Amino acid sequence: MRELSLSDWSSAAKELRSAAFVSAAGVRHDGGTDRFLRKLESVPSVVVVSGECDASALALLATATLGFVTDDVAVSVDADTVLALGLTSSLPAAVGAVPARALLFGGTLDAAPLRDSGLARRGDPAAARVDSPGAALVVRSLRVAARSTAEQAREYDAELRQLS
């Protein structure tokens, strides 16, 4: 699994090609955020967010296959970044409507609400395994299932199984 340090969204997007372990300290939204998130959506990933971040940390955690936060994380949520990143739709899809509202209207968030909402996991990120041979297919299936009926998701899974 490739290790990336997310200090520049655009540079990281160029390096992101397959399963990745992403360290994101003090992330802030900029012109490269959307491109990186689109690429991250299609690969198995473990993301660890730390430090003082803006709402782009929420988008990063919602997009990752598995997200973790350190105890020193502080995410400030502002309307402009929330709207720029489409978090009013992607966050409810990731954690549900009620937890998403609690996060979006929570002001500055520390590790506890991020973990309690399910957006970030507890545990050792180094132990997370998303680089198995079938992981990429499972990631694709999860993305489709989030936007599908149960029947559509089952049909897509059957198609994916035929591809592998």
21 Cα distance to chain centroid: 12
CB contact at 8 A, 103 and 92: no
What is the model's pTM?
A: 0.82
The domains found in the chain, sorted by start residue, are: 2-127 (3.90.226.10), 132-164 (no CATH)
- The answer to whether residue 36 scores a pLDDT higher than 80 is yes
Mean confidence (pLDDT) of the chain: 86
CB contact at 8 A, 140 and 164: no
* pLDDT mean over 25-51: 92
